[in-house]
Structure 1
Amino acid sequence: MRGPFKFISRIWSHLQSSFWFLPSVMAISAMATALLLILLDTLEGSQSGWISERTDALGPESARAILSAIAGSMITVAGVTFSMTMLTLQLASSQFGPRMLRNFMRDHGNQIVLGTFLSTFVYCLFVLASVRGTEGESFVPVIAVTFGMILAVASLATLIYFIHHIATSIRIETILAKLAVEARKTVERTLPEQAEKPAPLPEKTTQEALPPDFADNSRSVGASDSGYIQSIALDTLLQVACEHDLVVRVEAPIGSFIPCAGSLVTAFPHDRVSDAVADELANAFSLGPERTPDYDIEFSLRRIVEIAQRALSPGMNDPTTAIYCLDRLGEVLGILADRHMSTGRIMDEEMELRVVIEPVSFADLACSAFAAVSRYGISDDDLVARLLNVMERCSRDAPVQDREKIMRLHDTISLKSIGLAIEHA
């Protein structure tokens, strides 16, 4: 069941990132609603009572005029909305980086707004086609026309919401808050909470834990396509390794780029890795054309770092935005410090080594982010002061084995900043 579930999960994630899926669903729903209300008007049959009075008062020509006006205005507003959205995407790409486009594409607010206008347009077209006003026969779907007028008022309210939403969504504070929320969800999704007692440090390195003849008696499993590793089903690798008595080493961690036929895993021993087993191991990897933040913690942090680097570029020179980024980095890293980082080894129930993956420590993630920001903002005193403050807090929260590495980088940045200050004095 893992294969179909993984496939469905990938398709659903792709649909959420597309700008057409939700508006299309809303447009189809509008078509169904129009047909249902027209049928309801038809079932009234004799047009007696309130329906008959409304039909006489409204008339076929008035109904056509109302529906035509609503449909024409909706398609015009939809075009303006689409143009404003494309302008926002262009602005976000140039100012915050092309990696931010995914967030704007996944914004359900923009999708619902566009879907509302298109739905109203489609609804009015279907209802308009049902209005008849000949000499011998006339039919005005009063309920459907009335509901179309309600949709027009709702679309007007949606337009007001869109103007507010589009102005709010491009504020740096809003963007960073959303990135921090996504990064926090990634941490919660991929790493378990830290136990009361931290796990002991491994006595052997990951390479030393492998069988002595691993390199000479193993088979490399290649990728059938190229792309970035978006997720790895470690439970699937463990299951396959247990079923066939294998030791599997992951060669391509999440976030890495793999060319076609590039090595995904190496399995030991060679004679137990048939083509069918190799396919099972390869199916545990999800590849895509881009890195995604769903299971990639490093990429989640990198998106915040990229905004800080762009803000510190000579073309923008906006250290305040970079300081905001440091605050959000400190928030995410504070949550990450309370999580149990993998040792890189997965055992079976008999405590036999089955899966090996290169571990990433808290210090590796933190120092990579801090060093990338400091490289561009080392000459700004306010930024350096905030950076050192955030690093000190992260060091206090970090596991014991990671504190020294963070503080070494802290001292290096501090000395560089002092040296630049003396040089410019």
Structure 2
Amino acid sequence: MASIVSADRIRFIVNRFRERLWVKPLAVCLLSIAIAFAAKLADGTALKQILPVIAEDSVESLLSVMAASMLVIATFSVASMVSAYASAANTATPRSFPLVVADDASQNALSTFVGSFIFSIVALTALKNDYFGSAGLFILFVLTVFVFSVVILTFVRWVDRIARLGRMGSTIGKIEDATAGALARRRNAPRLCGVPVQSGRQGHPVFATSVGYVQHIDIAALQIWAEENQARIVVAALPGTLASPDRALAQVITATGDKPKIDSAAIGKSFQIGSSRLFDDDPRFGLIVLSEIASRALSPAVNDPGTAIDVVGTLLRLLSQWCEPATANQDQRPVYDRVEVAEISVRDMFDDAFTAIGRDGAGLVEVSVRLQKALHSLAAIGDAEMQAAAEYHRQLALKRAKIALTVEEDWIAVHDAAKPTA
């Protein structure tokens, strides 16, 4: 099967690299080594005739200070980041860990500290061996001052960021941003740029060879295979689905109905399967993680209804965005006309978002009231499918609150909040 790398596939791969803490520091280290040796290029030019002479001791002193301090700061930054990661896992949910690790400010700070340490060591070694001439020495001095300035600015900015990294509000914000991005991509391409599923058509199933969650589907690769084999492919497992050897990933349909020569390995490679769900192409996962945070906050051990109320507001914002029209410059016409993909279920999204909160917050009047108001808002602004899902969860939460609330005034407050407003 011929292969192409689609923009969606590139985005998925880049996001996986962003979650690796070593990628940026390694790239900056290689760049630092190149910069340190680039100063030598000035010795072969006419710059040595016009540039001022810099004392070698001054450059050596700056590099020595940088070499002695940067490794300590880099070690301190790693310890602070690990502490923030542990805080995010303990106070929010372990599922937020990939988003906290991918924090650009922290990765940039660590890369700057490690890169400046490598730069100072390489430049100092070259300087001690008389590698630079007068022009190269001046350029090295300028580069050293520049790197030192970048380190200071980065450290000041990073201190402000690390104070918030891993805190509950920051973690919820990162999850909201990731979920909003996934919802926007699915809203603009509800069938992943494929065509609607035509009911009543049975095909030949392609099963997963391993157990895990579908993290990404390369629709472009499925389209190529379908074109080459004059077939159609029905995607049976959307991102977020738990795949297993007894559950079909896709159905292959031919015009004649005969069983085609299915290259199960080629089709299976189009489905990225991993041990955990990811936020990128799975909007429901973000809603589940937010619901987990609220559920943990409502546990007797934590007893933090304020966080649950904040999460309800976050879920209201996210699901309100789902009702917005697609981006004006977004062409929703199918790109892959041989791949049939089902749309995400609004009812499933509501189940993911509100079931746990309605159950665990039923005994708290402030949470129940906020939940009723949020579901009223969603029913008012949504389409028929969203109105039905919101009404179902509104009634379910009301039943649970009636059982859990023992004070009559609390029940009246929740019941009044559940009444339609004029």
TM range (shorter): 0.7 to 0.9
Deviation of 1:34 (Å): 0.9
Look up the match of 2:174.
178
Q: Could you tell me which residue of structure 1 aligns to residue 308 of structure 2? A: 322
**Identity rate, percent:** 21
1:412 Cα deviation from its structure 2 partner: 2.6
Q: Deviations over 1:189-243 (max 9, x none)?
A: 122389xxxxxxx9xxx79x224xx3xxx43212344431112244654565566
2:84·2:165 contact (CA, 8 Å) conserved in 1?
no
Q: Aligned partners of 2:215, 2:274: CA distance in 1, in Å? A: 6
2:279 and 2:389 mapped to 1: Cα distance?
26
- Which of residues 265, 274, 292 is equivalent to 2:261? 274
1:81 pairs with 77, 81, 85, which one?
Answer: 77
Q: Between Structure 1 and Structure 2, how many residues are aligned?
A: 391
Bigger Cα Rg: 1
Q: Deviation digits for residues 249-278 of structure 1, max 9, x if unmatched?
A: 4332220122357531232457342133x4
Matching residue of 1:370: 354
Q: For 1:83 and 1:227, how far apart are their aligned partners in 2?
A: 32
- What SS does structure 2 have at the residue aligned with 1:141? helix
Does the 8 Å contact 2:25/2:110 carry over to 1? yes
1:15-62 CA-partner distances (Å, limit 9, x unpaired): 11111111111111111111111332x23689555433x2xxx244x4
Map of 1:210 onto structure 2: 200
Task: Tell me, yes or no, if the aligned pair for 2:207 and 2:244 is still in contact at 8 Å.
Answer: no
Residue 424 of structure 1, CA deviation:
8.2
SS of residue paired to 2:273 = strand
Give yes or no for the alignment of 1:13 onto 2:15: yes
For the pair 1:51 / 2:35, whether they are aligned, the reply is no
Q: Give the letter aligned to residue 273 of structure 1.
A: P
* Cα distance, 1:34–1:347 mapped onto 2, change above 3 Å: closer
* Gaps in structure 2 of 5+ consecutive residues: 191-195, 327-333, 410-422
* 3-state secondary structure, aligned to 1:221: strand
Given that residues 238 and 355 in structure 1 are in contact (C-alpha distance below 8 angstroms), is that contact kept between their aligned partners in structure 2? yes
Equivalent in the alignment of 2:109 = 113
SS in 1 for 2:5: helix
Q: Which residue of 2 aligns with 1:39?
A: 41
SS in 2 for 1:267: strand
* Partner residue in 1 for 2:151: 155
1:220 is paired with a residue whose SS is strand
Q: 2:330: which partner in 1?
A: none
Q: What code does the residue aligned with 1:335 have?
A: Q
Where 2:160 maps in the other structure, the secondary structure is helix
Deviant stretches of 4+, over 6 Å: 137-140, 346-349
Counterpart in the other structure of 1:95:
91
Corresponding residue to 1:168 among 164, 167, 174: 164
Corresponding residue number in structure 1 for 2:390 = 406
Greater CA drift, 403-412 or 304-313: 403-412
Contact 1:362/1:398, CA 8 A, preserved across alignment = no
Change in 2 beyond 3 A, CA 1:16/1:2: farther
C-alpha contact (below 8 Å) 1:127/1:145 kept by paired residues: no
Alignment CA distance shift 1:411-1:260 (3 Å): closer
Name 2:317's counterpart in structure 1.
331
Aligned to 2:258, the other structure's residue is in SS state helix
Task: For 1:121, give the aligned amino acid.
Answer: F
Alignment partner, residue 289 of structure 2: 303
What letter is aligned with 2:260?
V
